[in-house]
Amino acid sequence: MRGGCHDTLARAHEAGFGGVFFRTVLDMSPALDAGELREIRDHADDLGMYLEAGLGKVNPFATPEAPELRAAGGGDILLGFRRMMEAAARIGCVELWAATTNYQAGYPGKFVWDRFRTDVTWPAQLAATRRFLKRLRPIALDLGVHINLETHEEITSFELVELVEAVGPDACGIVFDTANPLQRLEHPRYTADRVAPYVRQTQLKDCALTPVEGGYRFDLTPCGDGLVDFAYVLSALARTAPAVNLTIENQESREDFPGPAPVTVLPIRDPDFVGSHSDLTVAEFAALTDLVHDRASRDPRARASAAPARFGDAEAMAAVLRSLDHLTQVRERVAAASRPLAVTA
């Protein structure tokens, strides 16, 4: 009996989703086995579902934390990326997710973001990332794929757009995660306007920012329960990327990841934290502040933690289905896309 990716496809189809976004092609087949990958592709096709995948971290200062990337190339990390890109292209996955660093859960304050590493500056990390992406560029062009960088927790949308332009939009794009940019103090509407022309994949999720001692607490919520205006987001994408797949990034069950959920607080009174966002305008930061406090004043529950006491498999499924319902209604209202929604795996 087939399991793993096949079960994920079957369960997503049964729940009413139109496709699945596997984080990396190595999650689909650790050995990049052509037969195994073709079976997954065929299963998705049989179900009438779209299939998306990715590569991994492209910041050379972060790749040591993902040894599987080097292993894919037998020790040669550039070859590892080439092999992943070739394997994905063979099954028609030509839009490929990537990101810059990992989220360092468990560390205090700003050190959860590699933006604030003390052994290497963030500009140096961005420069190294740009150089590596330029080495991947001819491979991407030869294979007809795009390497799409996520609006991840540590990087601003300004910096992402600069990276895409530097490497070339013919080989590079953006995966629009709708919640992460709020960790970089960006207003959701402003971010949508900046990244929409470059978006080739999506990870739709919502969040709350709750005023607490020391800053704003960041919590994920089902889509529609937080600060992201999805009508605005989907309208922006309808103008620039009308055929993009709309994928929900589901909240992870604590049964899959035991232990207490990480708590993220944006230390907005820390000059180093705020000062690292040199592109952020006073007007945008003020708009975000208004959004946060307006929600808190209208909804007293927003002053408490948005994270439920328990978040197991049942709660995770309920949350992603609630997101599906909200986004389906919004999509129908704004006619933002013609393709169905999916869930990440």
Question: Can you give the CATH number for the domain in which 29 is found?
Answer: 3.20.20.150
264, 273 Cβ separation under 8 angstroms: no
Q: Provide the pLDDT for residue 292.
A: 95
Query: Torsions phi, psi of 339, nearest 5?
Result: -100, 155
Domain membership flag for residue 66: yes
- β-partners of residue 342 are 247
Domain membership flag for residue 223: no
Burial (CB count within 10 angstroms: exposed 0-12, middle 13-18, buried 19+), residue 206: buried
Overall domain count for the chain = 1
How many angstroms separate the CA atoms of 61 and 220, rounded? 27
Domain membership flag for residue 137: yes
Within 8 A by CB and 6+ apart from 345, the residues are 5, 8, 12, 20, 21, 22, 23, 27
The residue range of the domain holding 161 is: 19-206+228-254+307-344
71-101 confidence digits (pLDDT tens): 999 999 999 999 999 999 999 999 999 999 9
Average pLDDT, the chain: 92
Q: What is the reported pTM?
A: 0.93
169-180 confidence digits (pLDDT tens): 999 999 999 999
Domain membership flag for residue 61: yes
- β-partners of residue 57 are 99
Domain membership flag for residue 3: no
What the block records as the tokens of 301 is 């529950």
The kind and range of the H/E element at 81 are helix 77-90
Within 8 A by CB and 6+ apart from 170, the residues are 141
Domain membership flag for residue 200: yes
135-178 confidence digits (pLDDT tens): 999 999 999 999 999 999 999 999 999 999 999 999 999 999 99
Q: How far is CA 152 from the centre of its chain?
A: 6
How many angstroms separate the CA atoms of 56 and 63, rounded? 8
Domain membership flag for residue 217: no
Domain membership flag for residue 65: yes
1 confidence band (pLDDT: 50, 70, 90): very low
